Chain A
């Protein structure tokens, strides 16, 4: 019996095509969106505007890459919006107090983010509280802590901060560079390291992973550290472009981040998703936003469009899940 025969047995070409389309729904939408806006306004396809899309996508994108780690385990991290605010704020205080430069500040921000993520991990792994509740609580806690530190006042960074945010290396804007480095690193970790593959295993079958000898607690906790550190970095990079930090910075952004990750193919049930997908998801959202501007569409339609696109992508995911569930239904009799 040929293994290939077994796989395609009883599936018509149209079914195979449907599976393929569902699996790559986001890419298809992305292609359609770019084509549509390109026809509407050819200027949209110019390198500068596409570069702009990626640059603006980097903020949500970096955090979405971290979020993908969490979603892969079947968890969720609602605190990223607050981490985006608090971690760079701590870095700002440190820079001011110790006269640190921007690169050192960046390191402080990422470390602070990692610590905040470790707090999430502690409650989720040690005390076995579900991730949704833990990170909902820290969403308020982290922002509340920042508000208390600043008395809700805006925090101004030194001018070097802005210089860093607007700098570029070899003609590539720094935010894009950071985005690319994070994406590449995440891709390598997820697809090429034992840690990465164990994340996938955990998301597929937590009990099975435990039985197979995977250190489930360590893996599960680490993804929240990764997520928060990524959110901190994302926040720092965007703030560097603005030069100051408002009390409302990052508020509600957790939903953009989750949306981007899900749009990139990450499943909320765990086990499915990739770093590359998060990049695509974040970029797609930004493409739509900027594309609508180029096409001269009423700006207030933008959230509706974003919602619709997320809806379609998630619908595709759920349809795919259902098809998988049906194909896995337990068979008592060999169906020849």
Chain B
């Protein structure tokens, strides 16, 4: 077998931080390669380089022996590479046939040759055993059917390499089985597959070869027979923690602050129970799509929940975020650009956002700018936000780390009881990370509870008193600090019971 795609010393760095480093690997024509690694291991960056979304900083790719440097996604499609993402790229208001042909319709007298596209689509759908009409609007299809339409698109484009990125996340078991049958058929036709998934047993079952990424490096690879699930997990973990985290200064108290019991929302959460005590940092670990953010949103009152109860200080919380903020809940979202900050507004205005009502004066509730400025200045010093004039400088002019401090600061000004921090150090450099960790410790030492959501196992092991692990919307385990063990945590996250 010859190599269909080959990476030679391929590297990509974001502002000096390597995402993929010196990667050399080849995929044989007709083979199925399983690509695994923790979140942030570099899988997505690698895929984006193949797909023409991101340009490598060094190294090169060879496609069928020729140098391959896609400048845009269309180049990858033209070369014969197709992506089946978790978030599908289909136009839900167009028909199945139109989705296949959107980049180039056959025409007759300027009009789409509907008979031709219908016939060809029908033929491709038949190959996939998908019993829907080519004229069906995609929006009416189930997630599993949409995925097959995406695969139909790949077949239509004569893709030689089909890349699946977490394809089973939103599928039912039956749909998953059908997908695997289709993947088997693609292999039988001699097409090459890259399969990325957090479900390791699927990877072991579908793939001929396996490659493991960690921190952007290829740390292990070989034929699938040589890989059992424990070896996959062992390869994915491993990194020193010394000096990356400040010491924790206080031990958690015995009083439960936030108690969530039996939270269930069909399709999202199933019987989730979490407790956060005073002064405690509870780490919430899970892989992409485990339901961590969804749990946070439900706790904060942003999303509905069908069953279960949430209490703060022993009393049930009111519905909706407003009442919960008033009771002392704070939520730092994972997406600070879109949800956490007003990028154009000044640092001071952002800091004052949550506690603005405390600064209203007189019957009209006019804002006392001086009091706000004084309090904001205090917060700036407390948080050591590196900025000049906080009344004028817009937040967008700050670095990622300092922006994150502003987000945390705006909540701190309302003195919350429980902090929910969703990926607070994402996109933040190492130095600022340490400052954010120190801040977390201080908040806990002052007696507030913290629910720290993170995809980085090391971060949670460094900061949390207890780690709760989620997988597919359920809690699959919890460990106290003395029992922290990477392999155990990952196993819970992967739901692998093998010893």
Interface set of A (CB-CB < 8 Å, partner B): 1-3, 6-7, 9, 188, 192-194, 197-198, 200-201, 203-205, 208-209, 211-214, 271-272, 324, 329-336
Contact = CB atoms under 8 A, between A and B. Distances in A.
Contact of B93 (A188, A194, A214, A271): A271
Interface in B84-121: 89-94, 98, 102-105, 107, 110-112, 114
Contacts of A271: 91, 93
B415 to A, nearest CB: 33
Nearest to A336: B172
B264 to A, nearest CB: 10
Contact of A201 (B94, B104, B144, B173): B94
Contacts of A212: 74, 89, 102-103
Interface string B195-225: 0000000000000000000000000000000
Interface residues of B, number: 50
Nearest to B170: A331
A192 B173 CA distance: 38
B475 interface: no
Interface string B386-408: 00000000000000000000000
A22 to B, nearest CB: 14
5 contacts: A3-B131, A201-B91, A201-B98, A204-B93, A324-B139
Contacts of B130: 3
A2 B145 CA distance: 11
A205 B138 CA distance: 13
Contacts of A330: 170
B91 A205 contact: yes
A185 B175 CA distance: 42
Contact of B174 (A1, A194, A200, A201): A1
A165 to B, nearest CB: 31
Contact of A3 (B91, B141, B270): B141
A331 B77 contact: no
Interface stretch (B184-192, B249-257, B288-296): B288-296
Contacts of B289: 332
A192 B112 contact: yes
B466 interface: no
B6 interface: no
A6 B178 CA distance: 14
A3 B145 contact: yes
Given A7-B141, A192-B112, A201-B94, A332 B267 contact: yes
Nearest to B474: A333
Given A332-B294, A333-B472, A334-B173, A200 B93 contact: yes
A197 B173 CA distance: 34
B102 A6 contact: no
A211 B89 contact: yes
Contacts of B290: 332
B131 A197 contact: no
A211 B103 CA distance: 9
Nearest to B75: A213
B229 interface: no
A197 B103 contact: no
A201 B170 CA distance: 24
A245 B132 CA distance: 55
A9 B143 CA distance: 13
Nearest to A331: B267
Given A205-B91, A331-B268, A197 B111 contact: no
Nearest to B471: A332
A193 B141 contact: no
Among A201, A334, A336, max chain B CB count under 10 A is at A334
Given A6-B144, A7-B142, A197-B112, A332 B169 contact: yes
A194 B105 contact: yes
Nearest to A324: B139
A2 B131 CA distance: 8
Interface in B289-348: 289-291, 294
A213 B91 contact: no
Among B91, B266, B472, max chain A CB count under 10 A is at B91
A214 B102 contact: yes
Contacts of B134: none
B89 A6 contact: no
Contacts of A200: 91, 93-94
Contact of A194 (B107, B131, B139): B107
Contact of B267 (A9, A324, A335): A335
A335 B111 CA distance: 42
B330 to A, nearest CB: 24
B96 to A, nearest CB: 11
* Nearest 10 CB-CB pairings of A with B: A335-B267, A331-B267, A213-B103, A6-B142, A213-B74, A194-B105, A334-B172, A333-B473, A204-B91, A192-B111
Contact of B472 (A3, A208, A332): A332
Contacts of B472: 332-333
Contacts of B473: 332-333
Contact of A6 (B77, B145, B474): B145
